[in-house]
Amino acid sequence: MKSICGVEGVSAWGIKEGKFGLALIRASGTAAGVFTSNRMRAAPVEVMMERMRRGTLDAVVVNSGCANAYTGERGYRDAVGMCEIAGGALGLAPESVGVASTGVIGRYLDLPLITDQCGRVAPLLARSGEAEDAAAKAIMTTDTFPKHALVETESFAVGGITKGSGMIAPNMGTMLAFIYTDAQVEAPVLGDILREATRRSFNRVVVDGDTSTNDVAFCTATGAAGRVDRDELARAVEAVCRDLAVQIARDGEGATKLLEVTVRGAPDEDAAAAVARTVVASPLVKTAIYGEDPNWGRVVAAAGRAGVEFDPYAVSLSVGEIPLVRRGEIVADLGAAKAAMRGKTVAFDLDLAAGEGIATAWGCDLTEKYVEINGKYTT
């Protein structure tokens, strides 16, 4: 399929060899980035937090299999070296190339391998579904499928690819996202749009409660479509980010079900988001989802520890279309509730009756497979 390669001015390709992959995405324009909140930031994050002050990018190089995190001065030099390698392969100034990494923490990059892979990938860059799929697969680690999203309007397009399925928590999780638009927009405005979209999408995904060392989301605007309405662009970028975020949650490590929690009636949107994130992060809720156990008390208990003021006996809760609590009164039909939890998506709606704030967060169930994947991740 096409998403980023459906945007004018974007070409891509990638290669995956065992655990080690490399993708190149070429697109010139104004650019913005958001980064992990983890203090143990990986070397490529440190490089890009400085480099993005320029407000432009011509390409991005991404490797999978090695996070280049907790690698000190050598790791920083290696991240810069990746940009030099990719710049040489693409005929670009190294400082105009972005870098991102994902994989095992505490291991050094294999720069000879990256040099070899860059040399083989660069001549293949193209604008096609095949090219984009190759890039999306190259950056995967424990993902089970590549993740794409595209929004097209009459005047411009926004497309994105991402990877991520574990070490996912608010403030981004081990995810890399690369978003492109052909709209013409200044870098500061693009940064504001990306930050708001991230707040309402990637920062509302919880797979396991961990926050990665390597999270980045970059957005580049090629300008090929000319000036567009700022609010329309913001809605399109948010829609792409939300689509990608939901795909990450659905592909959580070992997951069998997507968990969606919408909280309404909160004092404000941030309060609603805090409650929704707390519920989707709860191991007790997540295991109940896996077992299709209508133990709805775990949902209200998690909501109660989110740090938001509300009257516990004024709330209403439903799963799917099945009411569980109505304004503090228990009305649950447990048989019907269990049936509502049998599908691939389990959706709770919680009304706090404490204001007008509304927000949705996404997560997944917690299964034995998650322990298996992460118990043997490096071996």
Question: According to the model, what pLDDT value does residue 208 have?
Answer: 58
Residue 253 annotated as binding site:
yes
Choose the catalytic residue: 102, 162, 174, 278: 174
Question: According to the model, what pLDDT value does residue 132 have?
Answer: 95
Question: According to the model, what pLDDT value does residue 171 have?
Answer: 46
Question: According to the model, what pLDDT value does residue 355 have?
Answer: 98
Question: According to the model, what pLDDT value does residue 118 have?
Answer: 98
* Predicted confidence pLDDT, tens digits, the chain (379 residues): 679 999 999 999 999 999 999 999 999 999 999 998 888 899 999 999 999 999 999 999 999 999 999 999 999 999 999 999 999 999 999 999 999 999 999 999 999 999 999 999 999 999 999 999 999 999 998 888 999 999 999 999 999 999 986 444 434 445 899 999 999 999 999 999 999 999 999 988 876 566 778 889 999 999 999 999 999 999 999 999 999 999 988 887 778 999 999 999 999 999 999 999 999 999 999 999 999 999 999 999 999 999 999 999 999 999 999 999 999 999 999 999 999 999 999 999 999 999 999 999 999 988 887 777 667 666 6
Q: Is 222 a catalytic residue?
A: no
Residue 203 annotated as binding site:
no
Residue 163 annotated as binding site:
yes
The 3-state secondary structure of the chain, one letter per residue: CCCHHHCCCCEEEEEEECCEEEEEEEEEEEEEEEECCCCCCCHHHHHHHHHHHHCEEEEEEEEEEECCCCCHHHHHHHHHHHHHHHHHHHCCCHHHEEEEEEEECCCCCCHHHHHHHHHHHHHHCECCHHHHHHHHHHCCCCCCCCEEEEEECCCCEEEEEEECCCCCCCCCCCCEEEEEEEEECCHHHHHHHHHHHHHCCHHHEECCCCCCCCCEEEEEEEEEEEECCHHHHHHHHHHHHHHHHHHHHHCCCCCCCEEEEEEEEECCHHHHHHHHHHHHHCHHHHHHHHCCCCCCHHHHHHHHCCCCCCCHHHCEEEECCEEEEECCEECCCHHHHHHHCCCCEEEEEEECCCCCEEEEEEEECCCHHHHHHHHCCCC
Question: According to the model, what pLDDT value does residue 169 have?
Answer: 40
Residue 102 annotated as binding site:
no
Contacts of 199 (CB under 8 A, 6+ apart): none
Question: According to the model, what pLDDT value does residue 168 have?
Answer: 40
Question: According to the model, what pLDDT value does residue 10 have?
Answer: 98
- All CATH 3.10.20.340 domain ranges of the chain, comma separated, are 258-375
Question: According to the model, what pLDDT value does residue 173 have?
Answer: 45
Question: According to the model, what pLDDT value does residue 373 have?
Answer: 67
4-250 fold: L-amino peptidase D-ALA esterase/amidase (3.60.70)
May I ask the CATH class of domain 258-375?
alpha beta
Question: According to the model, what pLDDT value does residue 148 have?
Answer: 96
Question: According to the model, what pLDDT value does residue 209 have?
Answer: 62
Identity of residue 229: D
Residue 376 annotated as binding site:
no
- All CATH 3.60.70.12 domain ranges of the chain, comma separated, are 4-250
DSSP lists the bridge partners of residue 224 as: none
